[in-house]
Amino acid sequence: MLIEGDTGTWEMVIGLEVHAQVISEAKLFSGASTAFGAAPNSQVSLVDAAMPGMLPVLNRVCVEQAIRTGLGLKAHINHFSVFERKNYFYPDLPAGYQISQYAHPIVGEGTILLDLEDGEVREVGIERLHLEQDAGKSLHDQDPYKTYVDLNRAGVALMEIVSKPDLRSPAEAGAYLRKLRSILRYLGTCDGNMDEGSMRCDVNLSVRRPGDPLGTRTETKNVNSIRFVQQAIEIEARRQVEVLESGGTVVQETRLFDHRSGETRSMRSKEEAHDYRYFPDPDLLPLELDPAWVAEIKAALPELPDAKKRRFMEDFGLSAYDAQVLVAEQANAAFFEAVLQGPKGRRDPKTVANWVTGAYFGALNASGVGLAEAPVDAEKLGGLLDLIADDTISGRIAKDVFEEMWQTGRPAGEIVEAKGLKQITDTGEIEAIVDKIVADNPDQAAQVAEGNQKVVGWFVGQVMKATQGKANPGVVNKLLKGKLGG
């Protein structure tokens, strides 16, 4: 996205660092639990508390999750990687260093495809993915002069996923985060809940004149929702443009986003701390991966969003937009496919997609329930669609039936039967009604004869009213045209 400044246009260059908490039972280097919300310090081993003499032992599943994520990002898996110590002081980091990966990460370059608003797809590079420990949690609001520290989160495995500086707008940053989250959830390697902090994002941003070399970047930390990431980008880009246009220079620094004041500000304390003095952790040997293990993980990967989207478009003829909406969440895609599969073979994919993304998701959102608790399941929705397909009810009546199903949980057939909503397809019966209405409204009939086609629509409405919407609209139209000579 280009920014119009006072002295011309500027382009923003954005790279994102995402910290994704790995789904595992135990921590990266200890046997303590990773479960969220336990009593303070109740899920802490002596390793996590950095007691002298304790040694870290790497968790196999955490490694497997990193490999799986790397494969899902079509990235290069490094069969040799090294854990290093990143040294800094902070009360929630009891060892005085974080075990991380620096020069030799477990995953190298990969790619991610962004699904943009207009149905366009854009490729963004992944720079690397590495494994590291999470820090503990500091509570600053318990006491006016003290900070309380809980180490339950200390040592939980994180994947730091770094994008290349390929993003150019807040919208692309949002699309990147949504796509990454979708892939992580499909893979089952991170739950992607930004509001619980299991996925966190730092924004690297610089501005430049289009075509110029990269400008000086700042790193904005602590942005914990996609909306805030987009806001922070907008605000920080504008700040940098103002600094440059008033003759100043952008300082390379860490900044903090405050969504309440709508500004970013410098985190001065981080400035000297940037000398992390990385060195290979003497307690851990390099991690060497067996290629057979990597191949085994690769063979067991699920169908990922991009492949599913392509299949939905190619096999079912869905639009890029519909396919994307359906595949964003694995459960939604599975629901669509469950509805698609009827007892007598495949239902019409476009009708199913329309109903699932339209009325069905609409009802889910409005009632605030998830797929699992929804009163209408795939089988019942399929039953309703079958009644439309075999002309038992019209599409219009189906909307009412669906509402009734959502309220009562009853199957469509039962409701149609009980309420007598069956469509009238018997031409003779409809013809009698049409004849009566034409005879009762000679003035309107005359208008049609004079060429006023709009009045035909009025007649259709009258017939529908007389039949409580049960007449087959195609038959009604055809009969009226014949009778009125329209």
Binding site for other proteins (CB under 8 A): 24-26, 30-33, 39-47, 49, 57-63, 87, 89-91, 138-140, 142-151, 256, 267-269, 272, 275, 277, 280, 284-288
Closer Cβ to other proteins, 45 or 447, answer by number = 45
Please state at what angle helix 427-440 crosses helix 454-466, rounded to 10 degrees.
120
Report how far residue 378's alpha carbon sits from residue 460's, in angstroms, rounded to the nearest whole number.
Answer: 34
Residue 344: count of CB within 10 angstroms of its CB: 7
Secondary structure letter of residue 373 according to DSSP = G
Residue 298 class from Cβ within 10 Å (0-12 exposed, 13-18 middle, 19+ buried)?
A: middle
> Between the CA atoms of 46, 51, 55 and 58, what dihedral angle is there, to the nearest 10 degrees?
50
Closer Cβ to other proteins, 269 or 365, answer by number = 269
Contact between 80 and 286 under an 8 Å Cβ cutoff? The reply is yes
Closer Cβ to other proteins, 268 or 454, answer by number = 268
Q: In what order do the strands lie in the sheet with 97-101?
A: 97-101, 83-87, 279-280
Sequence-separated (6 or more) residues with CB below 8 Å from residue 376: 360, 363, 402, 405, 406, 409
Report how far residue 182's alpha carbon sits from residue 101's, in angstroms, rounded to the nearest whole number.
Answer: 25
Closer Cβ to other proteins, 149 or 455, answer by number = 149
Closer Cβ to other proteins, 89 or 343, answer by number = 89
Q: Which residues pair with 156 in a beta bridge?
A: none
Closer Cβ to other proteins, 15 or 94, answer by number = 94
Closer Cβ to other proteins, 294 or 313, answer by number = 294
Report how far residue 434's alpha carbon sits from residue 449's, in angstroms, rounded to the nearest whole number.
Answer: 16
Closer Cβ to other proteins, 91 or 457, answer by number = 91
| Least distance in angstroms from the C-beta of 331 to other proteins | 25
Phi, psi of 426 (to 5 degrees): -70, 110
Instruction: Identify each DSSP E strand in 209-278 by its residue range.
Output: 218-223, 254-258, 263-266
Closer Cβ to other proteins, 83 or 316, answer by number = 83
Report how far residue 311's alpha carbon sits from residue 227's, in angstroms, rounded to the nearest whole number.
Answer: 30
Using alpha carbons, list the distances in angstroms from residue 238 to 13, 144, 215. Answer: 12, 35, 14
| Least distance in angstroms from the C-beta of 160 to other proteins | 20
How long a stretch of residues is the chain?
486
